[in-house]
Copies of this chain bind each other. A is one copy, B any other.
Amino acid sequence: MIRIFVTGGTFDKTYDQISGRLVFGDTHLPEMLNLGRSRVEVSIRTLMMVDSLDMADGDRELIVRHCRQCEESRIVITHGTDTMVETARALAAGVADKTIVLTGAMVPYAFGSSDGLFNLGSALSFAQTLPWGVYIAMNGQHFAWDRVRKNKSTGIFEALTDET
């Protein structure tokens, strides 16, 4: 059984046709798992629906607490990409003996050109196979929480090397 915590981010943004803006509604996770014909046993819980740039310390504490307290030892978190690494760091400091995989999307799932479904398949798979630790799964790759950064100009997650 894998626990999925939803926190918002680009992944779950949708287009509001009255205001003409990107907004949060309900999470697309169940629809996406259905599209992927996923048979992985999951339990989904929405913790918040925020842009990760708007995520406050209290939000991160809430995420850490839920990851620590939930029964499941394998966890996927959907999260905005901008501060994903920061939340991963908080999780590494606060949760032991679990495999936690953060993922997100560069383009909202509701857009035809979204990477969301690919990333979800990837994150769920890494969560089943990686040893205890906190990871980021993006671009088909996985990175330990302290070995990665988001390149703000390309939008790509890059491995940190010792020289970096």
Chain A residues close to B by CB (< 8 Å) = 10, 15, 17-18, 20-22, 32-33, 35-40, 51, 106-108, 110-115, 117-126, 128-130, 137-142, 152-157
Contact = CB atoms under 8 A, between A and B. Distances in A.
24 contacts: A15-B113, A17-B106, A18-B152, A18-B155, A20-B51, A33-B140, A35-B113, A35-B118, A37-B106, A38-B118, A39-B139, A39-B157, A40-B141, A110-B111, A117-B117, A118-B118, A119-B121, A122-B125, A125-B126, A125-B137, A128-B141, A128-B142, A129-B129, A129-B142
A128 B113 CA distance: 25
B17 A139 contact: no
